[in-house]
Amino acid sequence: MRIRKLGVVGAGTMGGGIAALAASAGLPVILLDVPGKEGDRDRNGVARTGLDRAKKSKPAAFMDPDRSAMIRVGNTEDDLALLADCDLVVEAIIEQPEPKRALYARLETTLPEHAIIASNTSGIPIHSLLEGRGAGFRSRFLGMHFFNPPRYLHLLEIIPTPETSPETMAAARHFSDRVLGKGIVVARDVPGFVANRLGVFGMVLAIRQMEKHGLTIDEADVLTGVLAGRSKSATFRTADLSGIDVIAHVTNGLSQTTGEDFSLSPWVLSLVKAGRVGEKSGAGFYRRVGKEIQTLDWRSGEYNPQSKPEATGLSRIGKLPLRDRFAAIRDWNDREGAFVREYLLRFSHYVLSTTPLIAYDLTAVDHAMEWGYAWEIGPFKQMDLLGAEFLRRGFVELGLDEPALLREAREGFYSPDGTRVLSLSGGYEEIPREPGEIGLAALHLPTNRERHVLDDSNDASLLDVGQGVAVLEFHSKMNTLGEGVVAMLHRALDRVEHDGMDGLVVGNEDPRTFTAGADLSMIVGLLQAKDWSRLESAARAFQDTSLRIRTAPFPVVFAPFGLTLGGGCEFSLHADLVQAHAEVYMGLVEVGVGLIPGGGGTTELLFRFATELGPYAEADPFEGVRRAFQLIAMATTSTSALEARKLGFLRDADRITMNRDRLIADAVARVKDLAPDYVPPVPRTIRAMGKEGLGNLHYAAWAMHEAGQITDHEVRIAHELAYVLTGGDGPPRLVSERDILDLEREAFLRLAGTKETQERIAHMLTTGKPLRN
């Protein structure tokens, strides 16, 4: 069964976010909530307010604000029949069993026999909600627990009951994976499921350990955040974002349903009583006063300016790579170290003891915490870094027993070669992977390396992923494009042609950055040495690389995601096809360091936009020039793949993948689509506007300067950019791509020679932030 239309009942933060994600994916959505109060003119006001909240939310709930038009609002009293043509209805109402059961009774008589019904409950056992429902309803019912915000957190817990049909599970999984882009963890039907059962325990544990070791909230958040492989928001910032009242409700429910002690400290409950429940109320564990962030002193109840912990061990360990960090934590014995060690030991013991009750396999636990709580690595991977002997010794010191899973983990929880994981039924099993995914990391393992690694360097690797397709992955710092990466790209193009392969994909599995662009440190080195000849050669080589991507005798597909900036955007623009992840933040941002795109990006945008106007005889040719000028001069960066398409970084033919885990496989499929009758694109010419267009752009720069919007140096950058985009200051003329590339390179070099641009580059390398000079 294919899910073509979604219903969401409950237009709160979660319901609105789920509706926004589905609409962003292109699905029509019905969003219902209770009717407005008696006397309200708008009976759909509650749902409309929820939609408006989603439209205004930060970070943005919609990948494209225009997709909000895909959502129709209504109320559960007048409009329940609107759900009759929905294939899936997600319930996201108040977190209490009785209202949910009452809604299901009405849905059972309204929905078609094929429609799936899902609850977004964050922890109520799914089977307990089915009281009074018939066999057909029961077979089409399951839990689908999204994490907030639904657009950004990858995790979706799917919780079947014993009566959920295989067809229902298959349809829900396929839709959630391919259409919504979710990472799926199938959880047991127990209170809290997987992620919240462990995550909430970790939060309660951190509070108790902070009190025991006499730490401050600032100290505890540093120690339970990035340092320990967890998210940057750590414990208390996460609670503020979630709502301390919500945490209190969840902990109370878990205490009642599990029989375990999830109780919060009295001082935490006093915050809830006082209405200081976190971000939504303006104060919680933290509060903002003007531009200052203040932290609660949990002993006195007063707020003080946020402080940065400065323990010696903390500063030393915090700078280490993750594996070395965990090795150092084992021997960290001062006050902060004692806290971290006991916290990790007690949390690990709980995970080991609880996993058989809540999950079907160990990887589900790791994925739940990585995808739902944004941990760098999950708890079993962390335990492998800590080591079994450290865990056993620590459990003895704390008076804890040795859980059965630890006794069985003779090779670690993951096998040393990274291919197998400890099974809950005994022994080891292959690490499960969704069918159709292509994982690059596994191809580097010793057992696979000889067959799959075609070429390798410190900066990039060329991998044979099968089907006659190679994948080039970058692994320089921030995947920047230095000489090593560019050289490997040329070697990859040579190898694919020499071996007669079908084509090349350029992509990687970095969690955040496809590429941050050109390696500025290389440029700085050449500028400091005043090696203008080599800088000119490097700029020409970058342009030639872009052209070679365009003219290769086989399809080249780029698979960008996350940050895709500067040179990475330029290379992507020259690919035959782009298979972009939905969360791609793409832009030509060179003006931030005082340059213009010099790797063919300026030229490509001009030709792309001018060519789009070609079929329209009455179109103003300046419109294409203006559009390219605006994008580059303003360093515009997309906030999603949908926006990248609107801006022109992606073409209509370029494709979007919702699920990051499937991006490489989808890109490989595009190569296979193009390969059978592939012919490289022909060279293009356009009519450059010359002096007339140049004057228009100069006036625009002058007006912005007069309005105080740009600096003197930014006027110069704008003039150089304008000169390239108009083909110089002569009369209109027919120009080739090479003509504009030459102008682009010369402008790039002139700007690189200015003091102001060199200051901008140095500032970016030092601070990571742009300088306006």
Reduced DSSP (H G I as helix, E B as strand, rest coil) percent helix, strand, coil of the chain, to 5: 50, 15, 35
Token pair listed for 141: 């019912």
Residue of 38, 91, 108, 157 with catalytic role: 157
What is residue 410's three-state secondary structure?
strand
* Cα separation, 241 vs 218, whole angstroms: 16
Amino acid code (one letter) for 68:
S
Chain centroid offset of residue 535 CA: 35
Q: Is beta strand 513-515 parallel, antiparallel or unpaired with respect to 460-464?
A: unpaired
Q: How many helices (H) and strands (E) does the chain have?
A: 30, 25
Angle at 142 between CA 19 and CA 78, to 5 degrees: 50
Q: Considering only CA atoms, which of 152, 146, 144, 147 is closest in space to residue 61? A: 152
* Cα separation, 239 vs 248, whole angstroms: 10
Max CA distance (Å), the chain: 86
The label of the residue with tokens 């921030």 reads 478
User: Is the CB of residue 727 less than 8 Å from the CB of residue 486?
Assistant: no
Any catalytic annotation for residue 483? no
Q: Is 750 exposed, middle or buried (0-12, 13-18, 19+ CB in 10 A)?
A: middle
Contacts of 37 (CB under 8 A, 6+ apart): none
C-alpha radius of gyration, the chain, whole number: 28
| Angstrom distances, CA of residue 202 to CA of 196, 320, 379 | 9, 24, 11
Exposure letters 608-623 (e unless 16+ CB within 10 A, then b): bbbebbeeeeeeebbe
What is residue 186's three-state secondary structure?
strand
The label of the residue with tokens 């941050």 reads 516
* Cα separation, 139 vs 116, whole angstroms: 9
Give, as one character, the DSSP assignment of residue 133. Answer: -
* Cα separation, 494 vs 500, whole angstroms: 10
Catalytic residue set: 157
